[in-house]
Structure 1
């Protein structure tokens, strides 16, 4: 689990939702920005992997951004944003195992055919017979 939080920058904005009178006065929503290409924490292969997997969240300038406005305080939103962006990047770095194709066994094929036959018989029995 990699922690690159020193490379993150933050912007605040007014949050929508719960907060009462606070919501119109206090900037509690936090947007976290991270320049993926300029990161010194990851090597080039990891950067390419991150850029590929998170391309929908990375803007034209190469910044990965995430906005959090779940809590009523700026500090809680900032901490939540850091946790979320670290989790997002760590998930992007996971390379899934290749799936090996397998054939169904004889028993599985027979079971499928038996179920098919049972269903067919059930429907046949519903028909109106003269």
Structure 2
């Protein structure tokens, strides 16, 4: 059982882990031992996630989500299989925590009276500058 938040926890049987060979450091050992972890979590069919969190998680996951609604996390940062396994689980938990946070409601605001006044004064000032750059016509001389 993986505890994500106070309300959300995921059963271990909802997560599939596959161990694959990792590239990178490890010397000759890298060719013999499968230390990288590919974690799969079925977001669409998970009974642990509420609907609103599920939708936000699908949006947040981006390319890590398959068309079938399965989230795939690759962990190959460490040389040890156990550390990669923990890293993948932590990244899954962090992603779900981000999805659990409700986005702030945007409230429309209006410009203040002072900002409107400043804007108009600036526009008037710029127009004055541009007017002085114009050629003087014969009738104004």
TM-score range, shorter chain: 0.7 to 0.9
- Name the stretch that deviates more: 63-72 or 101-110: 101-110
Q: Is 1:80 the counterpart of 2:87 in the alignment?
A: yes
Q: Give the number of aligned pairs.
A: 118
C-alpha separation between the residues in 1 aligned to 2:38 and 2:108?
43
Partner residue of 1:25? 32
Equivalent residues of 2:53, 2:99 under 8 A apart: no
The aligned runs of 1:1-130 (5 Å cut-off) are 1=5, 2-6=8-12, 7-105=14-112, 110=118, 113=122
Separation in structure 2 between the aligned mates of residue 25 and residue 43 of structure 1, nearest angstrom: 41
Whole-Å separation in 1 of the counterparts to 2:83 and 2:17: 13
Which consecutive residues of structure 1, in runs of 5 or more, have no partner in the other structure?
Answer: 121-130
Instruction: Compute the TM-score of the two structures, normalised by the length of structure 1.
Output: 0.73
* Distance apart, 1:104 and its partner CA: 4.4
8 Å CA contact 1:35, 1:64 repeated in 2: yes
Contact 2:57/2:95 (8 A) holds in 1 = no
Instruction: Point out the structure with max Rg over C-alpha.
Output: 2
Structure 2: runs of 5 or more not aligned: 130-141
> What TM-score comes out, normalization by structure 2 length?
0.68
Structure 1 segments of 4+ aligned residues over 6 angstroms from their partners: none
Q: CA RMSD in A?
A: 2.8
